[in-house]
């Protein structure tokens, strides 16, 4: 079915931050650095399955989950992106894909034909499993034996799998993957994510023994100059992070500042 004008403009806006040929060199390089660090932190895992999440809504999880998947596929590795935000899915909007079937179709047992439902070669070497229809019971579906089976099967087939999820301080979905995947990459957005939120998310993560693979800091200050003289707006950092309890520290740089 043809997309409406509103759908098209929403997906155009969302694609603004998605890696493409026109993405500034500095940003592409920053994603390559993030990719390298991620490859190192996954070295000891058999199936390389990465959950991408953040503390709060709208911090850039979905955009950066897609960008990490694109950056990884550019190395020639086979990559699968799963939209497991079964509450507010957007991967199909960013990628202009149909979403009548997807993850929820498989988890609900409506179909077990993964190869029929997955979108193949959305980018070279990158397949995408969209969310499918929004179900009434996302957490239950993510916890299900069908999800275990799916992770086992795709883990054998792909070199890397990236899973987009909702924020951990809002719903439990991302942490339901603890113990079933290699770990979580947390998106942290400058002037948006607060220390209090990070602290709360880390406490939740540690209660489920989630492995934190790293933090990807996005939306950094505008106007920095590169050696090329190119002015770029967004800078991306990927840091290994040793958890520190911030609950007693100064929060003056928090969102309101």
Q: Using CB under 6 A as the criterion, what x/- string covers residues 4-43 for binding ligand ATP?
A: ----------x-xx--------------------------
Q: How far is the CB of 85 from ligand ATP (least distance, A)?
A: 6
State the alpha helices, DSSP H only, in the chain: 5-15, 25-41, 61-73, 91-94, 103-107, 114-117, 138-143, 145-157, 195-207
Does the footprint of ligand ATP cover residue 197 (CB under 6 A)? no
58 binds ligand ATP (CB under 6 A): yes
Q: Which stretch binds ligand ATP (CB under 6 A): 52-60, 125-133, 174-182, 200-208?
A: 52-60
Give the shortest CB-154-to-Mg ion separation in angstroms: 20
Q: Does 59 bind ligand ATP (CB under 6 A)?
A: yes
Q: What are the residues whose beta carbons fall under 8 Å from the beta carbon of 170, sequence distance 6 or more?
A: 56, 57
Q: Of 81, 219, 232, 238, which one interacts with ligand ATP (CB under 6 A)? A: 219
Which partner in ligand ATP, Mg ion, none is near 28 (CB below 5 to 8 A by kind)?
A: none
Regarding 62 and contact with Mg ion (CB under 5 A), the answer is yes
Q: What is the DSSP string of 44-100?
A: T-SSEEEEEEESSTTSSHHHHHHHHHHHHHTTT--EEEEE--SSS--HHHHTT---S
**Does the protein bind Mg ion through residue 61 (CB under 5 A)?**
yes
Q: Which of 225, 205, 184 is nearest to 64 (CA)?
A: 184
CA distances from 60 to 77, 109, 139, 179 (A): 24, 31, 21, 24
Q: How far is the CB of 67 from ligand ATP (least distance, A)?
A: 9
Q: Is 234 in the site for ligand ATP (CB under 6 A)?
A: yes
Q: Establish if 57 lies at the interface with ligand ATP (CB under 6 A).
A: yes
Shortest distance in whole angstroms from residue 235 CB to ligand ATP: 9
CB nearer to ligand ATP: give 110 or 222.
Answer: 222
Rg of the Cα atoms in the chain: 18
Q: Shortest distance, CB of residue 220 to ligand ATP, whole angstroms?
A: 8
Q: Is position 186 an interface residue for ligand ATP (rule: CB under 6 A)?
A: no
d(CA 38, CA 9) in angstroms, rounded, equals 33
| Cβ neighbours around 68 below 10 Å, total | 25
Beta-carbon contacts of 102 under 8 Å, excluding residues fewer than 6 positions away, are 83, 89, 92, 117, 129, 130, 131, 132, 133
Where on the chain is the footprint of Mg ion (CB under 5 A)? 61-62
Residues that bind ligand ATP (CB under 6 A): 14, 16-17, 54, 57-63, 85, 88, 90, 166-167, 218-219, 234
């Amino acid at each position: 079915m043809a997309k409406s004008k509103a759908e098209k403009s929403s997906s155009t806006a969302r694609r603004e931050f998605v890696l493409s040929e026109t993405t500034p060199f500095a940003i592409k390089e920053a994603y390559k650095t993030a990719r390298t660090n991620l490859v190192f932190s996954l070295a000891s895992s058999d199936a390389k399955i990465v959950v991408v999440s953040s503390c709060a809504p709208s911090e850039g999880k979905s955009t950066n989950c897609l960008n990490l998947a694109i950056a990884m596929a550019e190395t020639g590795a086979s990559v699968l992106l799963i939209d497991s935000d079964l509450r507010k899915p957007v991967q199909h909007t960013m990628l202009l894909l149909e979403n009548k079937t997807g993850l929820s179709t498989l988890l609900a047992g409506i179909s077990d034909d993964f190869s029929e439902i997955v979108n193949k070669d959305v980018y070279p070497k990158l397949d995408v499993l969209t969310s499918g229809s929004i179900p009434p019971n996302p957490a239950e579906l993510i916890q299900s034996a069908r999800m275990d089976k799916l992770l086992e099967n795709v883990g054998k087939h792909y070199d890397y799998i990236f899973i987009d999820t909702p924020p951990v301080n809002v719903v439990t979905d991302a942490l339901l993957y603890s113990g079933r995947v290699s770990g979580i990459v947390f998106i942290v957005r400058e002037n948006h994510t607060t220390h209090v939120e990070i602290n709360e998310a880390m406490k939740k993560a540690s209660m489920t023994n989630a492995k934190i693979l790293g933090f990807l800091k996005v939306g950094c200050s505008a106007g920095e100059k590169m050696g090329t003289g190119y002015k770029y707006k967004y800078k991306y950092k990927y840091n290994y992070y040793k958890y520190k309890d911030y609950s007693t520290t100064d929060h003056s740089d928090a969102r309101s500042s």
